[in-house]
Each structure stands twice: as structure tokens, then as C-alpha cells.
Amino acid sequence: MVLALYNLALLVGLILASPLWLWKMATTRKYRVGLLERLGWLPKRLRTLSNTQRREALWVHAVSVGEVLAVSRLIAELERALPDLEIFISTTTRTGQELARDRFGAERVFYCPLDLPWAVNAWLNALRPRLFILAETEFWPNLLTGCFRRGIPVAVVNARISDRSWPRYWKLRRLWSPFLSRLTAVLAQSSVDADRLRAIGCNSASVSVAGNLKFDVRAVQEAEATLMLRAAGSGLRFVVAGSTLEGEESALLEAWPKLLAADPNLVLVLAPRHPERFAAVAALLGRSGLNWTRRSEWTADSPVILPGHIVLLDTIGELASIYSLASVAFVGGSLIPAGGHNPLEPAQFAIPIVMGPSYENFRAIVEELLAHNALCIAEKDSLAATLIELLVDRSTAEAMGARAKQVFSEQSGATARCVEALRAIVTRERQS
């Protein structure tokens, strides 16, 4: 009954929104990319999936860049633990798709189908996965129901219910319960997440705390931009501002002259969170009168980077590595009320970290770092002073970075716990 009402509401919504979506598809490329795959059309590279001679499959769904990064090590470990399984990866966003194809190979990466019965069925019929794995809380009723009807176990890794999402999930718990109660395993990031997941309908026996996969993320190799900056920036010190959102770039540019007054050898690396904002940030930099360069315009030769320059990092997948160059890192999405982004990427390199006061999307991680004095919180009007303090007082900054790396190391292990739980599910399914 719940699924029927959901599909009716979905159909009505699609009809009402169709003029807007058709307009967006006609005028904006990101709405066209991967559309056929989303509607259930298997691309040529994957049409042989129906071959009965291929290996059994495992389907992992990671929404965007953050989830792809989080499951990267998990997928590598699953390949070692279950070598006879062929792992396929789906994403929702274009940036997540690009990163996943780069990391895992285009031949096994695709866009997750829209939550329409025919689209979901097309992919489930083709893949016939032994296990379906969701990263975090990407719950879709038709996709879940399609798995349940085929007897495909569903596991959720890195499961969480953020502070922002919690009121909405709680209000709709009666609608979610019929789906969530049938999940085979829910591996939560924290005890708070586990309690919330049980409260909205997950079976208590299926929920356990495995930890946060993002504590196990490692920059496996240096990005090309990192190598080029290191070669070009002898004697320079870098301030890396990652995953910034609208309003944060302007705040950083406002603070920039004060930082340069404190240390003239600084270079600012500015990495907007969303690729569709690269042009807008470039326009902002163009109006600023400051010296700046776009990463995407660098040639094979090392770029000329001088003290006071600003680098617009308008590429995907290089930020995590570039954090290793930082004297101090600012993690964006936090000066404005957006919930913050992941501070663990700089923490793994023992970099002192600054964030704004909005960090509810990563509350457990931030609070763990704060408890160890491994991160600074700064309001917009104190951002410059906080960054300057860490740039000038190197011993304090180095000690803070060391504590951040220690927290990162001590909290690791979620990947191993998830692999063990997922391998146990596959073993039980094969024996049944």
C-alpha cells in the first residue's frame, strides 16, 4: 500500500514537473548526462551483463564524490575478500560518476537508475547482484523493493541520519518502516546514528556500529596538481580552502590581504565544492584584482606560482592530495549554514584545520577532533585572525596537526568491520 501511494505521488510529481525538467534538459548539460542509464538503458559497455557465464555481481551505490571516496577502500578490500565477485558501482551525480570511473574503470561504473519500477528492474535484471550495498542513507522505495522481491540482501554502510535530516525522517517514520525493517544489515557510523536508524524502522538486530569509513580514507597517490605545485612552490606556504560554497570564497578573499601581511610567502588554493560554480568563482577572482590562475589551464610544464597568488582548483579528485601541501586548511560549507564538509582529508596529513560554526553534517567527526584540540572553529569575522594565528605560531599548528592525524588513525577500522559483515552475508546467501 505504501509503495503504491509512493508510486502514485511519484507519477503525479513527474507529470507536473515535466515541463521544468524538459526545459532544464534542453538548456543544461548536467540534466542530460547519463539520462538513458537513469531510465534503465544499459550502455554498450555493459550490455553483456546478461551473459550467464559471467561472475556473480555485487552492486555498490555511492551518491556523489564524498561517498565514492568513502567506499573506495571498502571496494578494494571487498575485491580481496571476495575475489570471485564482480563489483559494479553506481553514482547519482556527474562528479561522482567521473571520479568513480577514474578510480574503478568505466566498464563497471554507471548512473543509478531513477526510482522508477521499469528503470530499477532493468538494472537488477542485468546485474542480478548477490548483494546490494548502499553508502550512507540513499533509500529509494522501488530500488529497495526490487531487491527484496528478488531475495537480494541489502546492506547499508557508513549509515547515518544527520541532524538536518533527522526531523524529516522522524516525521515520515511510518512510511519508511516497511522498507527499512527489511534491510539485512545497517552498519552505522556512530551510536547516535544507530539509535536514530532503529527509531525510524530499522530492525534492531540488523543495526550495528561499524564506525565511519571516512576515517579509513587515504590519498593513495599524489595528484598531478600536487606534484606541480610542489615543484613550482619552493619556499612558498599554502593555505588550502576546500569544498567552499557561495559566500565563503568572498570571505576568504576579504581575509587574504591580512594573511599576506602576516606572511608574504603564502599561496591560496581555492577549491569550490561544486564544478558548476567554477565559472562563477573565476569571475569573482577576475573582479578582485588579485593575481590568480586556473588549475585547468596549466600545461605539462610546472606553472609559475608566485607569493600572493591564488590557485582556483577547478578539477575533480585532486583536493584530497593537495591538502598535504597545506600549512593550514580551511574546510568549507561551514561559514554558511550548509552543514560543513569532511575535515578528515586534511587530518590524515597532520594539517591544522579551521572550520566555520556549521558542521552538523559531520558532527561526530568534528566533535571528536575538537575534543582532542585538533581543530579550530572560526566565525566569519574571526576567520582571518584564526588562520593567521596558526600560520604564525608554527609549533601550535604542528601540534594541532599531529593531534588531528592521531584522531584519524585511532578511529580507523570501519572498513575491516564492514568487510567482515558483508562477507558473512554473502556466505550465508550462498549456503541457503
* Portion of the chain with pLDDT greater than 70, in percent: 92
Give the separation between CA 144 and CA 142, rounded to whole angstroms. 5
Band of pLDDT at residue 303, cut at 50, 70 and 90: confident
Average pLDDT over residues 236-257: 97
Q: Report whether 425 contacts 153 (CB < 8 A).
A: yes
Residue 225: per-residue pLDDT: 92
Cβ partners under 8 Å of residue 308, min gap 6: 260, 264, 266, 267, 290, 291
Active site residues: 67
Q: Report whether 108 contacts 91 (CB < 8 A).
A: no
Band of pLDDT at residue 299, cut at 50, 70 and 90: confident
Q: For all residues of the chain together, what is the average pLDDT? A: 90
Cβ partners under 8 Å of residue 202, min gap 6: 180, 181, 183, 186
Provide the residue ranges of all domains of the chain, joining segments of one domain with +: 34-211+413-431, 224-410
What is the DSSP track for 368-427?
A: HHHHTT--EE--GGGHHHHHHHHHH-HHHHHHHHHHHHHHHHHT--HHHHHHHHHHHHHH
* Portion of the chain with pLDDT greater than 90, in percent: 71
pLDDT at residue 52 greater than cutoff 60: no
pLDDT at residue 244 greater than cutoff 80: yes
Residue 40: per-residue pLDDT: 87
Give the separation between CA 398 and CA 277, rounded to whole angstroms. 33
pLDDT in tens, 131-146: 999 999 889 999 999 9
What is the DSSP track for 175-197?
A: HHHHHHTT-SEEEESSHHHHHHH
- Hey, which bits of 62-209 come out as E strands? 85-91, 109-111, 129-135, 154-159, 185-188, 207-209
Residue 430: per-residue pLDDT: 85
Tell me the CATH architecture of domain 224-410.
3-Layer(aba) Sandwich (3.40)
Same fold, 34-211+413-431 and 224-410: yes
Residue 180: per-residue pLDDT: 96
Cell output for 38:
537513469
pLDDT in tens, 407-418: 999 888 999 999
Average pLDDT over residues 335-342: 93
Give the separation between CA 58 and CA 74, rounded to whole angstroms. 13
34-211+413-431 has which CATH code?
3.40.50.11720
